[in-house]
Amino acid sequence: MTPASLDTTTTTMAARLSTREHYADLLDKYDTWLFDCDGVLWQGDKLIEGATEVLQLLRHHKKSVLFVTNNATKSRKNYKKKFDSLGVEAHVDEIFGSAFASAVYISSVMKMPKDKKVYVIGMAGLEEELREEGIQYIGGTDPEDNTLGSFSLADWTPDPAVGAVLCGLDTSINYTKLSKAFNYILRNDGCAFLVTNEDSTYPTAEGLLPGAGSVSAPLRYALGRDPIAIGKPKGTMLDCIRAKHDFDPKRTIMVGDRLNTDIEFGKAGGLSTLLVLTGITKESEITGPNASPTVPDYVTNSIGDLRALLS
């Protein structure tokens, strides 16, 4: 997958991009460009220098530009507001979040009957995507479940209509929600155990916080089994994109900052992959004796590097 015109010592090393020719070659080879957002286009509330120009350049060359994020706390509509506030052109149907993908999975893949409900551990954006997909849910932001009060099974009437537990990042995580979710999976016949994504941490401007995977870890541990995960690196997210957009995997590239989500997602889907170093992954993780076994096809410092094509 590495072109002869690019510098690579062996086929198990990423091609390091740096010249105008490298970027021109990339532009030529790929029609569909999938972008992770945080750590690629912006860092928290700060736009990566040159990101807007590069996206404009791709659109100018009639490339399909799609945004693929594991963030499940925001709906696509709300996520678009983030693009707007940073002055980055994006359309709701170009945005794929793990909240949306989870809703699509429940309605189109699981085909959960309409009279069934989802018990949600998650925030308003996740609820919004379920609502838009016509899926009934309980839990989530319901004040009754957002409490540090004690929980007793004796005082609880479980809803027999709950056919799935869906867990995403929830900064109001508490023992009542965990106890209900655990008992629904344990007691309700055939109740599915789904998580929006398995990111262990969540990057903020001041450092890391526990991510969606950490929020669902108590359920995984108490149940002694793994959930069905929807977001990157799982293929469910790509199935969801495929349902809405035509693309040729051979002419599609995934651009991301995380090896274990973005790059693995692209590779598992048969796409080419470009790692940028403006986010989670550090240079030391891709070179030297302790390099990760996950090797992207290409590496460049920043998405802004593609501005070389403008000169």
Which stretches of the chain bind a second copy, using CB under 8 A? 146-148, 150-154, 170-175, 178-179, 182-183, 186-187, 200-201, 204-211, 213-215, 217-222, 224
Residue 4 or 148 with smaller CB distance to a second copy: 148
Q: Please give the Cα distance from 224 to 255 (Å, whole number).
A: 34
Plot region of 280 (φ>0 → left; ψ -120 to 50 → alpha; else → beta): alpha
- 215 or 238, CB closer to a second copy? 215
Do the annotations mark residue 232 as ligand-binding? Answer: yes
Q: What is the CA radius of gyration of the chain?
A: 20
* Residue among 210 and 249 whose Cβ is closer to a second copy: 210
Cα–Cα distance list, 170 to 59, 109, 213, 217 (Å): 35, 24, 10, 12
36 is catalytic: yes
159 annotated active-site: no
Q: State the minimum distance, in angstroms, from the CB of residue 146 to a second copy.
A: 6
Among 25, 36, 199, 262, the one annotated catalytic: 36
C-beta of 6 vs 219, nearer to a second copy: 219
Q: Is the CB of 85 or the CB of 171 nearer to a second copy? A: 171
In the complex, the smallest distance separating the C-beta of residue 233 from a second copy, rounded to whole angstroms, is 16
Angle of the 175-187 helix axis to the 212-223 helix axis, nearest 10: 50
Q: What's the Cα-to-Cα distance from 246 to each of 32, 35, 231, 235, 266, rounded to whole Å?
A: 9, 16, 20, 16, 16
- Are β-strands 95-97 and 64-69 bridged in parallel, bridged antiparallel, or unpaired? parallel
38 is in an annotated binding site: yes
Minimum separation from the CB atom of position 55 to a second copy (A):
29
* 36 labelled binding-site residue: yes
In the bound state with a second copy, the residue whose beta carbon lies nearer, of 87 and 224, is 224
Q: Distance between CA 29 and CA 14 in Å, rounded?
A: 17
Catalytic residue among 25, 38, 199, 262: 38
Report the C-alpha gap between 151 and 176 in whole angstroms: 6
203 CB-near residues (< 8 Å, 6+ apart) = 38, 39, 44, 279, 280
CA dihedral 180, 183, 189, 193 (to 10 degrees): 70
Smallest separation, CB 260 to a second copy (Å):
11
DSSP 115-137: T-EEEEES-HHHHHHHHHTT-EE
Return the axis-axis angle of helices 124-132 and 76-86, rounded to nearest 10°. 120
Q: How many helices (H) and strands (E) does the chain have?
A: 9, 16
Q: Among the residues of 211-295, which ranges form H helices?
A: 212-223, 235-242, 264-268
Paired residues of 120 in beta bridges: 139, 166
Shortest CB 196 distance to a second copy, Å: 15
Least CB distance from residue 171 to a second copy, whole Å? Answer: 4
Binding residues for substrate: 232
What residue numbers does the annotated binding site cover?
Answer: 36, 38, 232, 257
Residues noted as catalytic: 36, 38
Q: Could you list the residues known to form a binding site for Mg(2+), using ranges.
A: 36, 38, 257
